[in-house]
Chain A
Amino acid sequence: METTSEPPLDAKSDVTNQLVDFQWKLGMAVSSDTCRSLKYPYVAVMLKVADHSGQVKTKCFEMTIPQFQNFYRQFKEIAAVIETV
């Protein structure tokens, strides 16, 4: 029995990308011109992603520690679900 092979995208972006590389660093913001005592750790991520044509783009973003923990928790959920499918 034939079923559709391409999942319909209801996502807000038009294109799904493949993750080519995931780099990370853990940083500590110490001080800034607007705040002398910042003192917060953050996780900086650099993703390399390839679209359908093979073109590779770099995307960088940062997460606070609570955001990272939520990110990690979501990936664990995804892993649990994908295992059972």
Chain B
Amino acid sequence: MAAGELEGGKTLSGLLNALAQDTFHGYPGITEELLRSQLYPEVAPEEFRPFLAKMRGILKSIASADMDFNQLEAFLTAQTKKQGGITSDQAAVISKFWKSHKTKIRESLMNQSRWNSGLRGLSWRVDGKSQSRHSAQIHTPVAIIELELGKYGQESEFLCLEFDEVKVNQILKTLSEVEESISTLISQPN
């Protein structure tokens, strides 16, 4: 029995999900044999392999081009007309899958392409004024900020920074310049 004829929508959905986990989200241990035995146990390995490759190729093409729904429909229609392509049922399953998983897959692709550290977290506290009987100096309030940074697939690094009020306001001014730049970029036509 051919893989194409065998499956219902649910099985192909499961396959696409597993392929996405493997290809985009970096989930380990998803082998061809695992997929075949779990989802298509009645299909012979030598038949499953090209089927899997075809599905993975289609998913990668859609993700790589970041297809909108018009492009997606055109692309999938073309695939149904190809020799050795997909069925229209399969096209429907793939279309549904991309529509619900697009955002998450895009996010993974963005993370994979970032080779610098990303900002994984930020926590902070403000310590209050304190004074000493023996010292004339009054300590000013201080903000302690901890940045959690990390490269894709690597453990986090923590960076702890201390700011007084002056410094906080300086940074705020810089950040407002960044925001202005972003507004300018977004308001420009592509």
Taking beta carbons and an 8 Å cutoff, which residues of A are in contact with B?
1-5, 7, 9, 11-13, 15-19, 22, 24, 26, 28-29, 32, 34-44, 47, 49, 59-65, 67-72, 74-76, 78-79, 81-83, 85
Contacts and interface: CB of A to CB of B under 8 A. Distances in A.
A19 B167 CA distance: 8
B82 interface: no
Interface residues of B, number: 55
Leading 8 A-B pairs by shortest Cβ distance: A37-B66, A13-B158, A85-B141, A12-B158, A61-B117, A7-B127, A13-B160, A3-B130
A37 B65 contact: yes
Interface string B138-160: 01011111111100000000111
B156 to A, nearest CB: 8
Most buried by A among B129, B163, B169: B163
Contacts of A43: 178, 182
Interface in B116-137: 116-119, 122, 124, 126-134
A41 B109 CA distance: 14
Interface of B: 63-66, 109-110, 112-114, 116-119, 122, 124, 126-134, 139, 141-149, 158-163, 165, 167-169, 171-172, 174-176, 178-179, 181-182, 185-186
20 contacts: A2-B133, A3-B131, A5-B139, A7-B127, A9-B160, A12-B146, A22-B174, A26-B178, A35-B64, A38-B66, A44-B116, A47-B159, A59-B117, A60-B117, A62-B118, A63-B118, A70-B122, A78-B143, A79-B168, A79-B172
- The B contact surface, by secondary structure, is mixed
